[in-house]
Amino acid sequence: RGAAGRPGRPPSPRGVAEMSRLALDLTEGITEFSSRIALKMMFAQFGEVAACWVPPLENRGKERAFVKFHRPEAAQAALDACNGGQIFLDGVRINAEWRLGPQKTQDSRDFDAKGSNLLSSRDLMRERAIEGQRERERERSRRRSRSRRSRSRRRGDRRRSRSRSRSQSSSSSSSRSRKRRKKKEKKEEKDKRQAEKKAAAAAAATAPAAVGSAKRARSPGVISVGSSN
């Protein structure tokens, strides 16, 4: 391995120069929930990650995590992003600075980002717990979304039902009003016919009396002449 794999030997100037252009010390942002896999995936957006290391839980705050890239321009881009406040791990901002040389760590290894030591069993359990929590949050979000859609549909159904009821009530009221008008018109027509019949009957009854009176008026009076002896 590199110089980091041989503690006790002073780093060569070449190794220090190479390290200063490729590796970053993470000065802030590593918490008890941080994992190497998440760290590697986050920094891989800038270029291929050659190595990454996160201190064990009991040494976090005492030792610094670090990330090493294959290309200097990738390391520079990652450093610029950290200094610009663009890098967050589990919601916590990551700050970084150049790693000037190999430093003593708890196990003194330069972890290969492609190797099997990328995840420990503790990291794997933590990742599974975080993923489970995220899945539960997504499920709650889906349930709330379905509940909102269901309430919206029920409100829409109630509005349509009320609209249909008002429409039916209006139609029923209009039908009753038409029936009342027709009934009133029929009654008025019937009353009119009955009045006409009564007027005709009254006219027919008074006509003979008027004719008799006229005849008596035209007939001369009868004069009785008595015979004299």
> SS3 for the chain, per residue?
CCHHHCCCCCCCHHHHHHHHHHEEEEEECCCCCCCHHHHHHHHCCCCCEEEEECCCHHHECCECEEEEECCHHHHHHHHHHHHCCCCEECCEECEEEECCCCCCCCCCCCCECCCHHHCCHHHHHHHHHHHHHHHHHHHHHHHHHHHHHHHHHHHHHHHHHHHHHHHHHHHHHHHHHHHHHHHHHHHHHHHHHHHHHHHHHHHHHHHHHHHHHHHHHHCCCCCCCCCCC
The pLDDT, as a whole number, for residue 3 is 40
Statement: the pTM of the whole predicted model exceeds 0.75:
no
> Beta strand pairing status for 49-53 and 95-98?
unpaired
Label residue 168 exposed, middle or buried (CB < 10 Å: 0-12, 13-18, 19+): exposed
pLDDT band at 205 (very low <50, low <70, confident <90, very high): confident
pLDDT band at 206 (very low <50, low <70, confident <90, very high): confident
The pLDDT, as a whole number, for residue 116 is 38
What residues pair up with 52 in beta bridges, in sequence order? 67
Question: Would you say residue 92 has pLDDT above 80?
Answer: yes
Token readout for 113 is: 């980002």
The pLDDT, as a whole number, for residue 158 is 82
The pLDDT, as a whole number, for residue 49 is 94
Question: Would you say residue 108 has pLDDT above 50?
Answer: no
- Per-residue model confidence as pLDDT tens digits over 21-58: 899 999 999 998 888 999 999 999 999 999 999 999 88
- Per-residue model confidence as pLDDT tens digits over 159-171: 887 877 777 777 7
The pLDDT of 79-102, averaged and rounded, is 90
The candidate with the shortest Cα–Cα distance to 101, out of 20, 26, 5, is: 20
Check if the beta carbon of residue 59 is closer than 8 Å to that of residue 104: no
